[in-house]
Amino acid sequence: MLAMFVDEKYEKCLYKAEKYSLNEKTKKDPLPYLFMSRCYFEMSKRDDFKEKFPTAGKDCYKYASKYASKDKDKRFYAEHEDYFTELRTTAVSEAEVMLDAKKFTKSKTLYDNLIDWDPNDAGAWIMLGVSFQGAKQKKEAENAFKAAMKLLTDKTCSVEIKGQKDLLRNAIIYYSEKLYTEGNSAEAKVWLNLGKEWFMDDKEYQVTYSQYAN
């Protein structure tokens, strides 16, 4: 699969990986799902695959989640870290666009994918909560915010992976500003205080903190 992928034979690589994913002996192996994700991701960037694989942009996320569920110890993650960094960056950008356009179902799906890849991604949990709020799903929003708050309180949130710390900072700022605007300044202060552990040296965070938490 790797040789096919490196040679940019994405369609062949995809079908080969798919066969492994359907074979009883190999369907629990994580690598076929990883290569399916990688192939779909590359296909989504090329016009010549758009007609035959119109859902490649969604499928790359779906199979990345399937890979993550089968590689709990992240045995293969380091080898493909650059890919996941690019995939995360793309997912976050798309989610922001969907959120701004009030397409909450789509933003929920994207933030949910980020959580599939790393359940300790507190920034993704916060933005998932915001998406649930937009979709008028109050209980689900509360659960997402509780998950984020626990990760921040316990200091178990993931900030090591490139982009995760930026998402967490932006998420806390976004949600705190939202709370403040809605008249809930006390809750905004709670969230900004939770982020102090990681961001009080960050100028943007300092400005937000002085504006909403002092």
Task: Write the pLDDT tens digit of every residue in 60-110.
Answer: 999 999 999 999 888 998 899 999 999 999 999 999 999 999 999 999 999
How far is the C-alpha of 108 from the C-alpha of 205, rounded, in Å? 25
Q: What is the pTM of this model?
A: 0.93
Give the type of residue at 208. T
How far is the C-alpha of 9 from the C-alpha of 146, rounded, in Å? 44
For 178-204, the pLDDT digits (tens) are 999 999 999 999 999 999 989 989 999
Q: pLDDT at residue 163 above 90?
A: no
Tokens 């960094």, located at residue: 85
Structure-token pair, residue 132: 């649930």
Nearest 10 degrees: Cα torsion 112, 118, 123, 124:
-10
Structure-token pair, residue 203: 């100028």
